[in-house]
Chain A
């Protein structure tokens, strides 16, 4: 009766370098077109890039709780559809093809919506000229201690022993959505057509054939690294285990996520005369600590030290790895061209 995931042989992990993200949502669309373009999935964003500080999606998810505290499940609640935001249909016919372009503007056909997954995109915090924002890349965290798995009364959620990918068995899922409640990152969606819960699958059919997940492979900013955490050759291993500059989001949620983040560096503040305040940082450390815990200070200091090294003309293998001069170095061996795969008929 107690549900604990079996220990995995190997764990796939990822690193998102937040300093390189353009906020272009190419990852989001890569995922959307590959996995969530069917009926009942319209509102799903298994991958999303939210503007921070911001509410993210579902709206205000960081305040919804879930996960574990001292090993015990923390109560949460189901997000409402309105907190995810409905998938809007726009009046393209009128504006683009109906000859109404001069007197109608592009807008959702359903007029009563006041929230969507990227409603606060690119909306900065702070006051000009010291305003700031950054992007947060979110997929399923494929946790070592998944709250979703522990919450499912039907054992419909499992963690693959060979790579640690967390999957929902749609044949077993009864749509009770305890997983949605329990996931503290709120990365699970309910398919209203199939009446089952669904989420990021880390593109496991691609992984099984040596191809990086779509959101990784298509990222034009070279933000996303993937590999086995114990693969000492992989960039993921070096960034997480050796240099320790990639850290989990909300480690206090207690699920041991396997997605890691290189936290964002800041430009400096300007004083009233418009002069740079040396040594200052635009993004308050306190805010970053609320996301990544106090360890974020050590990471940012490490990154600044490495950057100072390179300014002096010294080499930094860490920064070279993060820059990713050669894209293949980012994918822990999952570098096969997806164009060489046979598509299922």
Chain B
């Protein structure tokens, strides 16, 4: 996918309803449920073996940059807006933009100790514009990174989530993916459907890394 260059302020693009997003090419991604047999918890492997994982099957993704920040706009259908823990049996909806930190980190396990990933993580119970910048070396190892340049703004309307992530193109730090027009990168996406009790390693994910070209 291609991050198109736009002469627009980041705060304009953080608004998922901004009309300028209409001009940005969109990719419709088929998502797959995470593999239950790779989950690190015995309980999860046993209990979810017969349960469907990955309620969200289609994700629309757009990406753009304004030379300073790069943005990803995610959009998916979700009839139930879960912004918190409800009656105790649901979880907040969530989404991630995922990058390998080197080479082809294994996507189906969310990285490995040798090949960590960098995940920008938004969850529906976070404060406005809050997102976590995480590093992960396999399921269950996600850690918030000290570099906090990622933000996200979300909107739920008529049965759809719209989430825009933003991060400065140049961001230092070991756990930050390097993004520039000079180097092709790879990217993937994950979505958690809170009303289906998806959390942790239980989510839907794009089926493979996508090539990311920054104009």
Contacts and interface: CB of A to CB of B under 8 A. Distances in A.
B46 A80 contact: no
A80 B197 CA distance: 13
A174 interface: yes
A313 B88 CA distance: 56
B199 interface: yes
B201 interface: yes
Most A-side CB within 10 Å, residue of B43, B44, B200 = B43
B142 interface: yes
Interface in A180-199: 181-182, 190, 192, 195
A147 B43 contact: yes
A44 to B, nearest CB: 13
B157 interface: no
A79 B47 CA distance: 16
Contacts, number: 69
Most A-side CB within 10 Å, residue of B41, B44, B89, B200 = B41
A21 interface: no
Contact of B89 (A77, A153, A154, A176): A77
A151 B41 CA distance: 5
A81 B84 CA distance: 13
Interface string A61-96: 000000000001101111111111000000000000
Interface string A127-171: 000000000000000000001001111110000000000000000
A126 B174 CA distance: 67
Contacts of B197: 78
Contacts of A75: 46-47
Contact of A73 (B43, B125, B199): B43
Contacts of B43: 73, 147, 150-151, 178, 181-182
B42 interface: yes
B42 A174 contact: no
Nearest to B48: A75
Contact of B46 (A73, A77, A84): A73
A73 B200 contact: no
Given A153-B140, A181-B47, A80 B89 contact: yes
A153 B40 CA distance: 5
A226 to B, nearest CB: 29
Nearest to B49: A75
Interface string A35-63: 00000000000000000000000000000
A66 to B, nearest CB: 9
Contacts of B141: 154
B200 A176 contact: yes
- The secondary-structure label for the interface of chain B is loop
A149 to B, nearest CB: 10
A150 B142 contact: no
B87 A81 contact: yes
A139 B17 CA distance: 51
B52 to A, nearest CB: 15
Nearest to B125: A195
Nearest to B40: A153
Contacts of A181: 43, 47
Given A150-B41, A153-B41, A174-B142, A72 B46 contact: yes
Nearest to A179: B43
Contacts of B46: 72-73, 75
Given A73-B46, A78-B89, 17 more contacts: A1-B40, A3-B42, A73-B42, A75-B46, A80-B89, A81-B87, A82-B87, A82-B88, A150-B41, A150-B43, A153-B41, A153-B44, A154-B200, A176-B199, A176-B200, A178-B41, A192-B85
Interface of A: 1-3, 72-73, 75-84, 147, 150-155, 174-178, 181-182, 190, 192, 195
12 contacts: A72-B46, A73-B46, A80-B87, A150-B42, A151-B41, A151-B42, A151-B43, A155-B40, A155-B140, A174-B142, A178-B200, A182-B43
